[in-house]
Each structure stands twice: as structure tokens, then as C-alpha cells.
């Protein structure tokens, strides 16, 4: 079967509670016949002076940014550009950052300091302390909202950064919709550089993204985009981004976003009132667009729910973990789709029962021996986790949740890391060993 044949089958039967935000419903006449290249009149994304420059200006005014760059390589490309555009000093980063941030910091051979999030949130007091303790830090990178929709206090964090001359990059890959009937974007909360995936939460084709920045960073960002982005950016993707901007700016788009918000609030209320066993994730600051169902303390895993939704309701969700299920919604979901998801969850909730839940040790930061980039090209040996105590890891060891690496290359494996890994495994939380030579359950050690 070809991929296209598979897609035809899949899309006929399934309700997508996952990205992309267009949900296969957004009315658009893209693609093949509009697939062009840089010719007279179509401008050049890497040196825009015409129609693409106008498109980017429209985007900047929509988000209230000083300058905006349309990206066709996802937030991944924008994050690489942002980290490389902000110099050589040390980087303070949320330990829960996306792998593109780890890769960017390593590629740029920058020293890394980490902040442990508290239930997904990076706390201003922790930022303040880290910047006081480590004067070599020139850049802070945080993720807000997280994959689960947890938002940090970007305003306070940006004030702390500004007072110390530290550049604040916010990975807002999951928050392109913020500012449009939903909360406030980091762009207007004082961040210097903000990267958003249009395709995750808005109607726009996969890989479309946008980087907003203060004017002072624009020349460096343009230079780095030329390094990290294709020299043939897709006009289909750029047109899709522009269609999304036009939608957000239109009266119909504004009304659709308001309706979407109200529908979400109603569905959240329905879930909160009627759930007897599962819970809906809500934190002091969160994005209501993510419907995260917590199953801890019940006899169901997130994967049980995802499987049941797929099998019995033809609903496909975004992320299933041992104790949670994440559904991604967008303005392209109407009352009908949101209620279909909520009603299915409420039925599954009735079938679940409560069980004793085990508590997990909090994540910790192992001792760093060297930066990940210093290990490039080093040959290692596979080693089971429990035999690796005292050795330096060449692998990332990731646990989802909480999406925080237990080990980063260059860190020494200690008793605590082994204990936490064992506790996660006992709780059914999968561990991902990244960077090992095909050994699914082994660290690679120096």
C-alpha cells in the first residue's frame, strides 16, 4: 500500500484529536497547482522585499511583534536559529525543553545549565537564583506552554532576564493560538524571541511555524534561518501560513476563535463535573485548548484510553502515557467533535475503578562531567542502567512523563538516577535511551 492510499483510508474513518490544527477540515484550495518557486513576483523568503515581506509584516502586527519570520521547517528550525543567533555564552534551559533545544545548544557548543520545572512550570524564583549563581549565562530558553498545556509566568521571567541583560527565548511551539481569544502570548509578555508552530494549534499545514523577535535580533535570525532552512521554502507551506494569518485577522476568524473557546469551556466544565475516576489537568496557568485526562489512581493507563477511543469511537488522540492522555483541539473542532471526545471519555470513566497509586520520586539533576558537544565522535559501550553507576553517559535517557531527561550525555550516572529510572519502570513509565547503538534498554557509556 502506498502512503497516500493509507492516508486516504485513515482520514476517512478517524476523528483527529491530534495535530495538525487544520484537522483536515479547514477550507483551503491548496496544494499542487500552487507549488511554485522564486520567480518574478513571488519574492524570496531568505531576502524578502515584496509579497513575502508584506506577509511577514502582517503576521508581526497580528501578534504585536517587532519582527516576524515565517518558517517552513517547523519550530525546530526556528529554535536552532534562535539559539545560534544569541551568541556563545552559557544557556540556562528548562530541563523539560524539546530535543531541538538540546540539539541547538550542543550544535552551538554552548555550556548548558538546567532548571527543573515544578509540575511543568518554570518558576521565576528559580530563574533568579540560577542567574545570580551563574554569571556566564547569557540566554534563557523555556517551553511555555508545554506539550500538556502548562504555562509559565513569562512576564515575571522576562523582567528578571531584562534586569540582568539575559536574552529570553520562549519555545511557544504549542501556543501559536495564544493572544487570539486565548491567554497572552510570550510575544507581548516581554520575551525577546518566541517560536510558534502554526501547524500544532492553528489551521495551517504541518511544518509551518513562525519566529517573532525584537528588532535587535532580526539580522542574526535572518542569517541563521539561511543556515537552518531549505533554500527552496515551499510556497504551499508559506501560502498556508498566510491563509492562517488572514483567517486570524478576519471577523469570521475572530468569531470562530471565540466560539471555539466557549465550546472548550463548556466541554471542560462537563468533564470536570462528571468525571468520577479520571481528572482533567488544570494547573495555576494552563492552556484550555489541551484536554489532558489524568488516569493516575485508576485501573486504566493513558494507553488503555487511547486504544479504547481508537477501537470503539474511531477517535485518535495526540499522546498516550502511563498516567495521562492528551487530546489536542483547535478552532477547527466544533461543539460536535469536542463533545464526541468528552462523551467517550465519560463513558470510559464509568467503566474504570480506583486503585492505589504509587508515588514517584521527583526528577533530579545528575552531576555534569562535560557538555554533550564534547562527546561528539566518542565511541562508547552499551551498559544496562544498573551497571552504569559512576560512568559517564553518552546517551539521553528520557522518561515520558514528565518529559525531563534523567540523563543528558556527559552526566555521571549516580544511585539517584538509577533509583528514579527503576521507580519509573515499576510504574510502567517507558524509558527512552536515545543515542545508543540500537540497544533499546541500555545506556551507552564512555
Ligand X SMILES: Cc1ncc(COP(=O)(O)O)c(C=O)c1O
* CB distance 92 to 80 below 8 Å: no
Residue number, 143 or 298, with CB nearest to ligand X = 143
Q: Which CB, 100 or 185, lies closer to ligand X? A: 100
Identity of the residue, 84 or 98, whose beta carbon is nearer to ligand X in the bound complex:
98
Among 68, 106, 143, 158, binds ligand X (CB under 6 A): 143
**Is 325:292 a contact under the CB 8 Å cutoff?**
yes
Cis peptide before 346 (omega within 30 of 0): no
Task: Compute the least distance from the CB of residue 234 to ligand X, in Å.
Answer: 14
Exposed, middle or buried, 27 (CB in 10 Å: 0-12/13-18/19+)? exposed
Tell me: does residue 81 bind ligand X (CB under 6 A). no
Q: Smallest distance from the beta carbon of 144 to ligand X, in angstroms?
A: 9
To ligand X, the closest distance from the beta carbon of 103 in angstroms equals: 11
Of 173 and 248, nearer to ligand X (C-beta) is 173
**Which residues ranging from 157 to 186 are in contact with ligand X (CB under 6 A)?**
171, 173-174
Question: Cβ 392 to ligand X, closest distance in Å?
Answer: 27
For ligand X, the closer CB: 97 or 239: 97
Sequence-distant (≥ 6) Cβ neighbours of residue 154 within 8 angstroms: 142, 144, 168, 170, 186, 189, 190, 191
Is residue 322 within 8 Å of 403, Cβ to Cβ?
A: no
Find all residues with CB under 8 Å of 410, minimum gap 6, and list them: 368, 369, 370, 371, 372, 374, 375, 392, 393
Minimum distance from residue 318 beta carbon to ligand X (Å): 10
Q: Per CB under 6 A, does 131 bind ligand X?
A: no
CB of 383 to ligand X, least distance (A): 30
Residues 94-113 interacting with ligand X (rule: CB under 6 A): 98, 100
Q: Which is nearer to ligand X, 147 or 396 (CB)?
A: 147
Which is closer to ligand X, CB of 166 or CB of 170?
170
Query: What is the rounded CA–CA span in Å between residue 281 and residue 119?
Result: 11
For 45-62, b/e burial (b = at least 16 CB within 10 A) is beebeeebeebbeebbeb
Among 147, 180, 278, 398, binds ligand X (CB under 6 A): 147
CA-based max dimension of the chain: 67
Q: How far is the CB of 341 from ligand X (least distance, A)?
A: 20
Query: Which of 11, 26, 35, 380 shows the shortest CA–CA distance to 205?
Result: 26
Q: Tell the smallest beta-carbon distance from residue 77 to ligand X (Å).
A: 7
Chain residue at closest Cβ approach to ligand X: 74
| 151 DSSP 8-state letter | -
Stretch of 73-81, 324-332, 336-344, 414-422 lying at the interface with ligand X (CB under 6 A): 73-81
Quick one: 74 or 363, whose CB is closer to ligand X? 74
- Binds ligand X by CB under 6 A, chosen from 167, 197, 295, 330: 197
3 state SS of 23: coil
Per-residue mark of binding to ligand X, 389-408 (x: CB under 6 A): --------------------
Grid coordinates 492522555 are at which residue?
325
Q: How many angstroms separate the first and last alpha carbons of the chain?
A: 43
User: Which has the closest alpha carbon to 274: 325, 348, 334?
Assistant: 348
Taking the complex as a whole, the smallest distance from the CB of residue 118 to ligand X amounts, in Å, to: 17
CA separation for the pair 81, 212 (Å, rounded): 12
| Secondary-structure percent of the chain, ordered helix, strand, coil, rounded to 5 | 40, 20, 40
Instruction: Decide whether 103 or 416 has the Cβ nearer to ligand X.
Output: 103
In the complex, least distance from residue 400 CB atom to ligand X, rounded to whole angstroms: 12
Which chain residues interact with ligand X by CB under 6 A? 74-76, 98, 100, 143, 147, 171, 173-174, 197, 209
Amino acid at each position: 500500500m502506498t502512503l497516500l492510499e493509507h492516508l486516504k483510508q485513515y482520514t476517512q474513518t478517524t476523528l483527529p484529536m491530534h495535530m495538525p490544527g487544520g484537522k483536515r477540515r479547514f477550507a483551503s484550495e491548496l496544494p499542487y497547482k500552487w507549488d511554485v518557486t522564486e520567480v518574478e513576483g513571488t519574492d524570496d523568503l531568505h531576502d524578502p522585499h515584496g509579497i513575502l515581506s508584506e506577509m511577514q509584516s502582517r503576521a508581526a502586527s497580528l501578534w504585536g511583534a517587532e519582527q516576524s519570520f515565517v518558517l517552513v521547517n517547523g519550530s525546530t528550525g526556528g529554535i536552532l536559529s534562535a539559539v545560534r543567533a544569541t551568541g556563545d555564552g552559557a544557556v540556562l534551559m528548562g530541563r523539560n525543553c524539546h530535543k531541538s533545544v538540546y540539539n541547538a545548544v550542543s550544535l552551538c557548543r554552548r555550556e548548558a545549565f538546567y532548571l527543573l520545572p515544578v509540575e511543568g512550570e518554570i518558576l521565576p524564583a528559580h530563574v533568579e537564583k540560577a542567574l545570580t549563581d551563574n554569571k556566564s549565562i547569557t540566554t534563557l530558553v523555556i517551553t511555555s506552554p508545554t506539550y500538556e498545556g502548562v504555562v509559565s509566568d513569562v512576564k515575571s521571567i522576562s523582567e528578571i532576564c531584562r534586569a540582568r541583560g539575559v536574552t529570553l527565548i520562549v519555545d511557544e511551539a504549542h501556543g501559536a493560538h495564544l493572544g487570539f481569544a486565548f491567554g497572552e502570548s510570550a510575544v507581548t509578555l516581554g520575551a525577546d524571541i518566541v517560536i510558534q508552530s502554526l501547524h500544532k494549534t492553528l489551521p495551517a499545514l504541518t511544518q509551518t511555524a513562525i519566529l517573532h523577535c525584537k528588532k535587535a535580533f532580526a539580522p542574526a535570525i535572518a542569517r541563521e534561518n539561511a543556515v537552518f532552512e531549505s533554500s527552496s521554502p515551499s510556497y504551499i507551506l508559506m501560502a498556508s501560513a498566510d491563509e492562517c494569518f488572514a483567517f486570524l485577522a478576519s471577523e469570521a476568524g475572530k468569531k470562530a476563535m471565540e466560539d471555539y473557546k466557549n465550546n472548550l469551556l463548556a466541554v471542560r466544565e462537563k468533564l470536570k463535573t462528571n468525571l468520577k475516576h479520571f481528572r482533567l489537568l488544570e494547573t495555576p496557568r494552563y492552556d484550555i485548548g489541551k484536554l489532558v485526562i489524568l488516569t493516575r489512581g485508576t485501573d486504566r493507563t493513558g494507553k488503555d484510553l487511547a486504544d479504547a477511543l481508537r477501537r470503539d469511537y474511531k477517535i485518535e488522540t495526540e499522546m498516550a502515557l502511563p498516567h495521562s492522555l492528551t487530546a489536542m483541539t483547535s478552532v477547527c473542532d466544533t461543539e460536535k467533535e469536542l463533545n464526541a471526545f468528552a462523551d467517550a471519555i465519560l463513558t470510559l470513566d464509568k467503566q474504570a475503578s480506583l486503585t492505589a497509586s504509587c508515588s514517584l520520586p521527583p526528577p533530579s539533576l545528575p552531576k555534569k562531567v562535560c557538555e554533550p558537544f564534547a562527546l561528539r565522535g566518542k565511541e562508547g559501550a552499551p551498559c544496562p542502567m544498573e551497571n552504569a553507576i559512576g560512568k559517564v553517559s553518552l546517551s539521553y535517557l528520557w522518561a515520558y512523563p514528565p518529559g525531563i531527561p534523567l540523563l543528558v550525555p556527559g552526566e555521571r550516572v549516580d544511585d539517584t538516577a538509577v533509583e528514579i529510572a527503576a521507580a519509573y519502570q515499576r510504574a510502567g513509565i517507558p524509558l527512552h535511551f536515545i543515542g545508543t547503538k540500537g540497544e533499546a534498554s541500555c545506556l551507552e557509556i564512555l
